[in-house]
């Protein structure tokens, strides 16, 4: 989100940010730099997103999505209406499906075009998590959450003036959902979807970076070293790390007894903090994620569920890291196996890819350099923002 905020402001546009302040990622407004507050007019509204067992149970009998219900707040709606009455906007962009309960307020109080920034195909995350879950009751409940979220997702998509998906695959999915009758693919990657008399433009706008802010110095790196970084309170991250530690790491540690595997990220569960595995270094939340990534050499992304695009892979490539990930982890990124990324889906493949990197430092570095070049040509923030602005202009006629 900040990539877009900074990019649009940098391109000379006025930007206003109204954001949920949740317990997971709570921010003290006073800690936000003054120049950023002036540039964005950012306001934060506290919403309690904690899962409440009684509400979750009662929700089973409503047919509504509990994921969505948790984001409905009269305090947030009141503040939103106040902002809309005091400002005139050309475009209002909702970040993620979970802001869509406020569509009615937006329509009533603004004539702006409303865009859904779809970070993921939200229900697909939970379908995949359920598919990886062995506990039958937990799997049943996760499938219930996925179904109700899917029903909501499909019902609300047509209410937007445009959809900015994060990957071409996601854009294609939205096309299929909204337009079973016909579609038109333009040379600029916009997918125009027709359903009955309504036309909904959709575009893929990936995550992008400003390479100048990502240091690249392959000589000042601990080689060889493995690392994973990410929010460990996101279930796909936690489950992926657990799988790697118990299915891959034992063989790797035996083959390379001096190799270290660093784990970094916020909200680490207790089992991860208490790990006593050989050469696994658990750091928890690091002070500067970019500095941490820069100091290590091989990034492990063992994801088997999720959707959208893995921002940490883009950031890792930007710092010249060699990435080893699953096919699903690399989903939505325009990368090529063994050229600018290494793909592994089963334990023996992860072992093979790690062995390649550890045994051939020059090849490992070259894959990292190729990944950085991919970011420069395909995931450059300036190019992406220009594409987004063109999409806005299309919506405004």
Mean pLDDT of 304-311: 79
Q: What is the pLDDT of residue 23?
A: 84
Q: Each residue of 31-59: pLDDT tens digit?
A: 999 999 999 999 999 999 998 999 999 99
The pLDDT score that the predictor gives to residue 389 is 97
Q: Is the pLDDT of residue 363 over 70?
A: yes
Model confidence pTM above 0.85? no
**Structure confidence at residue 236 (pLDDT):** 87
Residue of 343 and 126 predicted with greater confidence: 343
Residue 170 CA, chain-centre distance (Å), reads: 12
- Is it the case that residue 193 has pLDDT exceeding 50? no
Best CATH choice for the domain 2-208+381-396 from the list 3.40.1010.10, 3.40.50.1110, 1.10.10.60, 3.40.50.2000:
3.40.50.2000
In this prediction, residues 312-321 reach a mean pLDDT of: 94
CATH class of the domain comprising 211-378: alpha beta
Q: How many helices (H) and strands (E) does the chain have?
A: 17, 14
Closest to 275 measured CA to CA, from 250, 245, 240 = 245
Instruction: Annotate 46-80 with b (16+ C-beta within 10 A) or e (fewer).
Output: ebebeeeeeeeeebeeeeebbbbbbbebeebeeeb
pLDDT at 20 over 90: yes
- Antiparallel, parallel or unpaired: β 162-165 and 91-95: unpaired
Query: Is the predicted pLDDT of residue 186 greater than 50, yes or no?
Result: no
Query: Rounded to whole angstroms, how far apart are CA atoms 384 and 378?
Result: 8
The chain-wide mean pLDDT, for the chain, equals 91
Instruction: Report the pLDDT value the prediction gives residue 189, as an integer from 0 to 100.
Output: 43
**pLDDT average, residue stretch 166-174:** 91
Q: What is the pLDDT of residue 19?
A: 96
Which residues lie below 8 Å from residue 325, measured CB to CB, with a gap of 6+?
300, 301, 302, 303, 310, 313, 341, 342, 343, 344
Whether residue 92 contacts residue 159, with contact meaning beta carbons closer than 8 Å, is answered with: no
DSSP letters spanning 84-109:
HHH---SEEEEESGGGGGGHHHHHHH
The pLDDT, as a whole number, for residue 270 is 94
Residue spans per domain, the chain = 2-208+381-396, 211-378
Q: Which two tokens stand for residue 351?
A: 């072992």
What is the per-residue pLDDT across 107-143, written as a single tens digit (0 to 9) for each? 999 999 999 999 989 998 889 888 888 899 999 999 9
pLDDT band at 257 (very low <50, low <70, confident <90, very high): very high
Average pLDDT of span 234-246: 93
Beta bridge partners of 165: 118, 204
pLDDT in tens, 263-289: 999 999 999 999 999 999 999 999 999
Judge whether 266 and 233 are in contact, CB under 8 Å: yes
**Which residues contact residue 85 at a Cβ distance below 8 angstroms, ignoring those fewer than 6 apart?**
109
Residue 308's pLDDT band (boundaries 50, 70, 90)?
Answer: low
The answer, yes or no, to whether residue 217 has pLDDT greater than 90, is: no
What is the predicted pLDDT for the residue at 188? Answer: 42
- The pLDDT, as a whole number, for residue 235 is 85
Q: How many CB atoms lie within 10 A of CB 383?
A: 15
Residue 211 has pLDDT above 90, yes or no: no
pLDDT band at 338 (very low <50, low <70, confident <90, very high): very high
SS3 217: coil
Which tokens is 313 given?
Answer: 């892979």
Look at residue 182 and tell me whether its pLDDT is greater than 80. Answer: no
Beta-bridge partner residues of 182: 194
pLDDT exceeds cutoff 50 at 194: no
Q: Do 211-378 and 2-208+381-396 fall under one CATH topology? A: yes
74 CB contacts (<8 Å, ≥6 apart)? none
pLDDT of residue 133: 87
Could you check whether the bond before residue 224 is cis, i.e. omega within 30 degrees of 0? yes
């Amino acid at each position: 989100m900040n990539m877009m905020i900074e990019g649009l402001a940098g391109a000379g546009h006025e930007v206003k940010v109204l954001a949920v302040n949740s317990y997971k990622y709570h921010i003290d407004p006073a800690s936000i730099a003054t120049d950023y507050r002036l540039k964005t007019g950012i306001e934060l509204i506290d919403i309690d997103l904690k899962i409440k067992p009684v509400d979750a149970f009662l929700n089973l009998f409503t047919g509504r999505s509990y994921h969505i219900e948790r984001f409905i707040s009269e305090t947030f709606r009141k503040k939103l209406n106040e902002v809309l009455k005091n400002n005139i906007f050309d475009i209002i962009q909702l970040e993620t499906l979970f802001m869509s309960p406020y569509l009615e307020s937006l329509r009533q109080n603004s004539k702006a075009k409303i865009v859904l920034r779809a970070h993921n195909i939200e229900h697909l995350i939970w379908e995949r998590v359920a598919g990886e879950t062995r506990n039958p009751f937990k799997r049943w409940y996760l499938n219930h959450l996925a179904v109700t979220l899917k029903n909501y997702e499909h019902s609300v998509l047509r209410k937007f003036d445009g959809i900015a998906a994060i990957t071409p695959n996601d854009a294609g999915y939205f096309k299929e959902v909204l337009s079973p009758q016909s579609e038109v693919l333009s040379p600029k990657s916009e997918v125009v979807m027709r359903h009955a008399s309504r036309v909904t433009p959709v575009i893929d706008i990936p995550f992008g970076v400003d390479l100048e802010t990502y240091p690249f110095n392959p000589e000042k790196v601990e080689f060889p070293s493995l690392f994973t970084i990410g929010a460990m309170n996101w279930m796909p991250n936690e489950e992926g790390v657990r799988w790697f530690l118990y299915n891959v790491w034992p063989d790797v540690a035996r083959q390379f007894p001096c190799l270290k595997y660093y784990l970094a990220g916020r909200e680490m569960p207790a089992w991860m903090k208490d790990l006593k595995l050989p050469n696994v270094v658990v750091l928890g939340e690091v002070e500067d994620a970019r500095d941490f990534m820069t100091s290590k050499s091989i990034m492990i992304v063992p994801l088997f569920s999720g959707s959208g695009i893995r921002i940490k892979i883009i950031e890792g490539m930007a710092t010249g890291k060699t990435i080893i990930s699953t096919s699903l982890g690399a989903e939505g990124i325009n990368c090529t196996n063994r050229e600018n990324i290494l793909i592994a889906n089963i334990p023996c493949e992860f072992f093979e890819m790690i062995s390649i990197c550890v045994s051939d430092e020059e090849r490992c570095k070259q894959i990292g350099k190729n990944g950085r070049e991919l970011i420069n040509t395909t995931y450059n923030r300036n190019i992406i923002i220009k594409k987004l602005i063109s999409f806005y202009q299309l919506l405004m006629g």
